[in-house]
């Protein structure tokens, strides 16, 4: 573990990563996709399903109805990934 016996620097992490404009934009797109599928009744909180972008946001995909689908969480998170976390 990286933070054994010392506090985790949440504020620093937010400033360096989570608070950057590009990360905020991607997070907003993921939240929008989830809300769209919830409105259609295809997913709900705690159901173990993920909203997947057919063409990933990291590869230039958009959050339109034609580009999103519902997948089981374990299937959606099993893609091979690059070191930066983007889908190969």
- Residue 1: per-residue pLDDT: 57
Task: Please say whether the beta carbons of 63 and 29 come within 8 A.
Answer: yes
- Residue 49: per-residue pLDDT: 94
Q: How many Å apart are CA 58 and CA 86, to the nearest integer?
A: 6
Residue-level length of the chain: 88
Nearest-Å Rg of the Cα atoms of the chain is 15
Beta pairing partners, 50: 71
* Claim: this prediction has a pTM higher than 0.85: no
Give the C-alpha distances (Å, rounded to integers) separating 81 from 5, 59, 76, 88. 31, 12, 12, 5
pLDDT (tens, 9 = 90+) of the chain, 88 residues, equals 567 888 888 899 888 888 889 889 889 988 999 999 999 999 999 999 999 999 988 888 889 999 999 999 888 887 777 888 777 7
- Residue 6: per-residue pLDDT: 86
């Amino acid at each position: 573990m990286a933070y054994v016996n010392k506090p985790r620097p949440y504020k620093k992490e937010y400033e360096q990563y989570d608070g950057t404009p590009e990360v905020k934009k991607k997070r907003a797109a993921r939240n929008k996709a989830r809300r769209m599928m919830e409105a259609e009744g295809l997913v709900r909180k705690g159901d173990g399903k993920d909203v997947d972008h057919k063409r990933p946001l990291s590869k230039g995909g958009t959050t339109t109805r034609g580009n999103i689908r519902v997948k089981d969480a374990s299937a959606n998170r099993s893609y091979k990934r690059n070191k930066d976390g983007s889908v190969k």
